[in-house]
Amino acid sequence: MENSGKLKDRHILIALDESENARRALLYAADFLGGTPGFRATLLRIIPEPPEDYFDSDEERNKWIEDRRSTAKEMLENYRKILIQSGFREDKVDVLINVRSCPSVAKCILDEQKRLGCCTVVVGRRGISKKEEFIFGSTSNKILHNGKNCAVWVIE
């Protein structure tokens, strides 16, 4: 008899950029979850739209965005392969590049978590100094403080 109460996959959101700490977060998730059934993962790269003030023309700004998008695409494809090699099924790993106006990257990540219904957010942490956190802010700390209805894994 077919089981009508099919289990829903647990959906993990792994927020990434080109940093080494993001790579560590991805490798941790691959090592920890790879081969375990019942999980799916979305690899997310948020690219905050830069204000027009930094560019002399729209063309220059668009090129900046496209360059970042292209780098992100390549990075996420590589990371997708790593997850698959670790045991994730191919159809259980998605990649998502989100270019948007983004005063806070943490908020953008949590918006995606909510939209996709992810139960866990995985991020890396750079280990910034107190003064850097004061002036620049910390994405991982903000996710820790503001994440709702999800677990947050901060990988150092």
Partner 1 sequence: MVNNHNAVHAEKPGQEDLRDMIARYLPPERVPKKVKVITDTSDFFRVDYDDVVVLDGRPYLIRNYEREGRFSIDEQPKFWVKRAIDLEDGSLKIIKMVFSERFRAKVGDMIFECVRSSKKEARILDLVRGHPNFMHGFSTRDSTGNIIRIIDYIPGITMDILISRLGRNHEDYFYNYFPSVFVDYIELVEAIAFLHRHGEKHGDIRRDHIIKDKRGGRYRWIDFDFNYWHKENMFGYDLFGLGNVLVYLAGRGDVTTQYLGHNNQAALQRLTIDDMNIIFNNRVVNLKKIYPYIPDTLNFVLLHFSAGAEVFYDDTGQLLDDLNEARDNLNVAHDSVREE
Among 79, 120, 138, 147, binds partner 1 (CB under 8 A): 138
**Which residues have CB under 8 Å from 53's CB, separation 6+?**
none
Burial, 7: exposed, middle or buried (Cβ in 10 Å; 0-12, 13-18, 19+)? Answer: exposed
Decide: 155 and 25 in contact? Cβ < 8 Å: yes
Residues paired with 120 in a beta bridge? 12, 151
> In whole angstroms, how large is the CA radius of gyration of the chain?
17
Q: Which of 2, 20, 56, 91 binds partner 1 (CB under 8 A)?
A: 56
Give the x/- contact pattern for partner 1 in 114-133, rule: CB under 8 A. Answer: ----------------xxxx
**Binding string, residues 77-106; x marks residues near partner 1 by CB under 8 A:** --------------------------xxxx
Query: Cβ 31 to partner 1, closest distance in Å?
Result: 27
- Minimum distance, C-beta of residue 9 to partner 1, in the bound complex (Å): 30
Per the listing, tokens 């990075």 go with: 75
Contacts with partner 1 by CB under 8 A lie at: 50-54, 56, 103-106, 130-139, 142
